[in-house]
Amino acid sequence: MPTSVWRIGYDPDLIGVVASNGMSGYLLKNDFRYNGYPAGTTDEGYMPWLAAQPKVLKFPVYDVDRDNIVGYFETTNTVSSQYRMTQEEFKWQLEVLEQGLRSSGWRTEEEIAQELENFRANTKIAPPEMTLDELREAYGW
């Protein structure tokens, strides 16, 4: 995207991607840029609109002539009210945050602890995967 301008001299309107069905094709940059937001800009209505969208956003992937849809490109909408971070994603994000805070060198241990606690408190996490025995017990099967 930004490097495309440098490489080819202008900002292309197509983005090369691989669709969820494995087909190669192109996204329309303007469709993808604002996650399909109808107004095409990030005004004050954008974030509430994005939160109301599904947790998986799907964008049509076109052939190079834009005549045919060859598949759909899927991306996770982490702003969606339906989105829940997996346990693995949460652990990874927490580690990245902690490393970043520690490497910055300008935070005290108390500030780092507070930032990590804020992240824990404000992150929606999916429940851990349950085994078949745990499901049976939970649902009385």
Q: What is the pLDDT of residues 56-102, one digit of tens each?
A: 899 999 998 889 999 999 988 877 777 777 788 888 888 999 999 99
Alpha carbon separation from 119 to 74, 88, 135 (Å, rounded): 26, 15, 29
Domain around 125: 87-139
pLDDT of residue 129: 63
Same domain (yes/no): 59, 9: yes
For residues 106 and 68, state if they share a domain.
no
**48 and 14 part of one domain:** yes
Domain total of the chain: 2
Q: Let me know if residue 81 belongs to a domain.
A: no
Q: Are residues 55 and 105 part of one domain?
A: no
- Does residue 82 lie in a domain region? no
- 31: pLDDT strictly greater than 90: no
Q: What's residue 25's pLDDT?
A: 94
Pair 92, 67 in one domain: no
Whether the CB-CB separation of 70 and 63 falls below 8 Å is answered with: yes
Higher per-residue confidence, 5 vs 136? 136
Backbone angles phi, psi at 101, to 5 degrees: -65, -40
Asked whether residue 100 is domain-assigned, the answer is yes
| Alpha carbon separation from 21 to 17, 24, 38, 67, 72 (Å, rounded) | 11, 9, 26, 18, 7
pTM above 0.75, yes or no: no
What's the average model confidence in pLDDT over 105-124? 87
Confidence of residue 18 (pLDDT cuts 50, 70, 90): very high
Please give the mean pLDDT across all residues of the chain. Answer: 81
